[in-house]
Each structure stands twice: as C-alpha cells, then as structure tokens.
Amino acid sequence: MKKEIKFSLLYRDMWQSSGKYVPRVDQLKRVAPAIIDMGCFDRIETNGGAFEQVNLLYGENPNKAVREWTKPFNEAGIQTHMLERALNGIRMYPVPKDIRQLMFKVKKAQGVDIARSFCGLNDHRNLELSIKYTKEAGMISQATLSITHSEIHTVDYYMNVVQHAVNYGTDEICLKDMAGVGRPVFLGKLVKAIKDAYPNLIVQYHGHVGPGFSVASMLEVAKAGADYIDTAMEPLAWGMVHPDVITVQAMLKDAGFLVKDINMKAYMEARALTQEFIDDFLGYWINPKNRFMSSLLVASGLPGGMMGSMMADLENIHTGINAGLTAQGKDPLSLDDLLVMLFDEVQYVWPKLGYPPLVTPFSQYVKNIALLNIMSLQQGGKRFQTIDNNTWDMILGKAGKLPGKLAPEIIELAEEQNKTFYTGTPQDNYPDALDEYRKEMEEKNWDTGENDEELFELAMHERQYRDYKSGIAKERFLKELQTLKEKQSKPMDDKTTKASKDENIVDVVAPYFGRVYFDLSLEMENESIKLGDAVKKGRRLCYLESHSTYQEITACCDGEIIEINFKQGDMVSKNDIIARIRKQA
C-alpha cells in the first residue's frame, strides 16, 4: 500500500514571510471557500506567531479574526493549527505562566485544533508547559524542533528534545526548518530516527525555500516516514516563503506516494484572491527581495526573510563606514562587500554565542551583534562592544539553555559587567500577571470577552491592544498606508538623512516605518540623546525596530542635537524627521 502524505497550507506564514501585515478578516473569509475547494489540504495554519499582533496594529480585533477564519475549515473537517513560541507565547519576549495557560483555552474555544509549539533554543523545559496547557485545553500538541545546521545540531541532539517532548505528552513532532538550511539527507535521518523510536508519532515538516534545499528535503523526509508537509501557493510561494503545493504534490506523486489531487479551478480562484489582497493594500509592505532565493544564506544560516532588513541595515551604515575608510586612506567598500562581511561575521559570532538556532528572535540578536561588530571594527574598535539587554538575557540563560558553550571572551565580558548567569527554569523568572490585567480592564470598564479572550489579548500584547482600543492603531495604520501610496506615485528620498532648507541643519529621517528606541534596554524613559548634545559623525542616535529587527540610525555629520521629535517607543512613518542636527561650523 502506498504511503499517504498530507498537506498543510501555511496561509498565515505566507504573508508573514513576505511582508508585515496579513489579510483582514473579511478577506480571509472570502478566500477560505476556495482553499477548501482545492481539495488537497488536510490542515491550514490559521494564526499564531505575529498574526494577532498585526491585526491589532491595523485596528482589527484578532479574536474575531481567528474565530471567523477557523470556522469554515472546522465545518469542512480541515484541521487548523497555530504557531506559538513556548516561553514567548505569540510575542517576542517571555510570557507569564498564567497568560500562557489562558492562551490555549482561548484558542481552542475559537476553533484552533493544533498548537505548534517551538522554543527557539530547543530547550525542552520551555516546551513542557506548552504541551501541558495544550493538552489541558483539549488541543493537539505538536512539539517542534528548531532546525539549523552546525557541528552540534546532530540527530542525537534533536532526539534528546523529542524524547523529553514525548515524556511530556506531545502528540506530534514538527521539524521547523525556518531558514531552509537543514540538509536534506540529515533531515531524512532525523525523521527516520523519530519514526524508529516512536512509530505512531505524527511528523510534520516545515521548510522555507531560502537557500533552495527545501524541495529536496521534502522528498527525503517523505521517504523517511513523514506524515504531513507544509506548503504555500502562488503568488506567495518560493523566494523566502515555502514551495508551491503544485510542485510538491507532483514530486511526491511521481515518487510513488499517495497524495490528494488539486482542484485547479479553485487553486486559480484562491490565487487570484490572494493577488487581489496584495493589490488592495498588503503589497505596500511586501519587500520585493523576499520573492527571490539566495544561496548566500547557506553559510550564514540566517532566515531568508531577514534579507530585506539586513540590506536596509547595510545601506544605513554604508556611507558612514566608507567615510571612515576614506579618512584612513583606505578603499571604500561596496554593499556586496559589506554583505559578505556580515555573513562572515555571523559565522564568527554564532558559535561564540553558543549556537542558538537562528530563528526569531535569536536570529535577530546574532545578526545585530555581527552588524555592530563590523561597525566597531571598521572604526578601529573591538568586537562585542555593544550588546542589548535582550541579547544578554539569551547569553545569561534567562531565555533557556544555549545548545553550545559560550566562548571564554563572552563569559569574561559578562563577568566584567557584573552579569549573573541563570541556570534555573526560564519560566520562573516571570511571575503570574493576569490579575493585574483583569484589574485594569475592570477600571476601564472593558469587557474581558468570551472565554476571557479580550483579557488574553491585553495581557499578551498590552501596548498594541491599548492602541487598538483607543483607535490610535487604526489611525496610525491609515496614515502609514496613505504615506506609502503617495510615495509610490511620487518617489521620495530614501536616505536616512537629508538636508533641510537651512544648509546648516540636517534632518535625521526614518528610512521606513517602525518604532524608535533610543536605548535597546527598551525601557520607556531611558533615552541616550538629549537636546544640546554634541555628536560626532557616525554616532548612534537611536534604533529603528521593524519586523523584530533593529537598525541603527547614526549622525551623518558633527554637530549639535537641536530637535528631538519622538520619544522612546514611538512609532514613526517612513521619512518622518526623528531629530535635527545643527552642523558644526
């Protein structure tokens, strides 16, 4: 009898890997029937990750979106699954235990069948509560391995995580190849090891295209006994996303597997609707570079979705670095030179930081350190001069146990700064907090919602939820959309800094939409510049955060800060003037 391979459509991840936002609930409801009529999907990824946060960012209630989006699939007998980050829940930083527990109860009530839970460090301790709370809520638990490629990420390494997850009671295992750097033969060996040890354990493979391994990986894991394969569909397939279901289905069918047929009329309808959503407003936030594959990612292991932000980072520091090189009598560097330097620096930094799998948010931490190292070295400084608090938490063990050993110089640096290493269970650092949020909702006369779902959203995404409730989020989103539409019709200067009408005044301009941080401790009042400060060319003025990555905004000249227009944590649109500098005479 032929082995059956089933497919899941990653409609959520297709959007998140391409741009910033996801379709509105009315759009999701329109495309759902066509996806169902395609007839080839047994599962749909409907929510999780950044999905619900971006709902709030454009002024839509994420609870309504999840409920309305899962309903047609529930009725059609197609399983729905969400993505959650274990200790971090569905946000970028740790979540108190009682909020994590409520999340699964809420999502089960909203129609989500499966919780795909991953720890970016593959620390099984962070998975334990996710598995427990998933099962208590009546959902299917899918414990997830964050796949990367290094000398320490062996089959035995991953099997240790699997064994713990099985002991905790997981129902399934997912291989999350988030950067697409898992080598096909290795992944086949890993799936075989899982199936040999636990023949009845469901295995699902998730692989981004990125550097180009994932189609071959899909064939290898299928041969080794995988049960489900994650796929995408045009016009949001390939590039830095996932392979199109048509190709995967044809490949597996030719290899002798039993796969469902695809209703091509329905496929074309879902494809056309997806393109309609892109044309409506979502395309304004889709980076064209995410439509292309890049073999440059093989060595660095970074997720392909970071390419756009990495190039923005490099473009921002390019002029400053070359100015310094010219002053030293050295030849300038091209952007390609800098890109290769960044990839080389990531390869240098990664093992020294204990080989954290390069998945959100740890991929951003490693990339940011590499970028700051390059800037420091080009200015005659040393490596690891700037490390933000979130990265220190990873280094010190507060996010979980690192897969490898820290380099001696990192340990020495921590000791010099009187940092304390943490060896306990990460969750213990974050006490319960639901009662505080419930009290806030009572004081503001806000409804906690069906099954406390509104309480959950406030507790999980407190800043975004408050902005949603006040109407600021939608107002800001519409302003941002209008700005992007105007820019498309009339191109604007993309440089970070540009001269104002007064030739002695330089405007420090936001290169894209994001959130301003003057200090990466992320404390709301901890600002590193103030009016009257004397600054030197190349000095960091602030960071701009977008898509969970941080770009340095630096001074392009010597001078004095004469204007600061935003506070720590404020949102800015592309070309907003963050600050002004009076050039030094």
The residue assigned the tokens 């890109």 is 339
Q: Tell me which residue of 2, 18, 11, 14 sits closest to 43, measured CA to CA.
A: 11
Cα separation, 366 vs 211, in Å, equals 19
Domain formed by 497-583, architecture: Beta Barrel (2.40)
Confirm if 454 and 446 have CB atoms less than 8 A apart. Answer: yes
Q: Tell me which residue of 313, 387, 291, 301 sits closest to 549, measured CA to CA.
A: 313
Task: Return phi, psi of residue 151, to 5°.
Answer: -65, -20
Confirm if 156 and 125 have CB atoms less than 8 A apart. Answer: no
Cβ neighbours for 476, distance < 8 A, ≥ 6 positions apart: 467, 571
pLDDT (tens digit, 0 to 9) for every residue of the chain, 585 residues total?
899 999 999 999 999 888 888 999 999 999 999 999 999 999 999 999 878 888 999 999 999 999 999 999 999 999 999 999 999 999 988 999 999 999 999 999 999 999 999 999 999 999 999 999 999 999 999 999 999 999 999 999 999 999 999 999 999 999 999 999 999 999 999 999 999 999 999 999 999 999 999 999 999 999 999 999 999 999 999 998 999 999 999 999 999 999 999 999 999 999 999 999 999 999 888 877 777 888 888 888 887 666 656 666 777 777 778 877 787 788 888 878 888 888 899 999 999 999 999 887 888 889 889 988 988 888 788 999 888 888 999 999 999 999 999 999 999 999 999 999 999 999 999 999 999 999 999 999 999 999 999 999 999 999 999 999 999 999 989 988 888 787 666 543 434 444 445 778 888 988 877 788 887 654 444 457 888 899 988 888 988 876 555 677 888 888 999 999 888 777 787 778 899 999 987
Where exactly are the structural domains of the chain? 297-429, 497-583
What's the predicted TM-score (pTM) here?
0.81
Cis peptide preceding 235, ω within 30 of 0: yes
Angle at 148 between CA 55 and CA 339, to 5 degrees: 80
Task: Give the residues across from 7 on adjacent strands.
Answer: 41, 229
Cα separation, 47 vs 442, in Å, equals 28
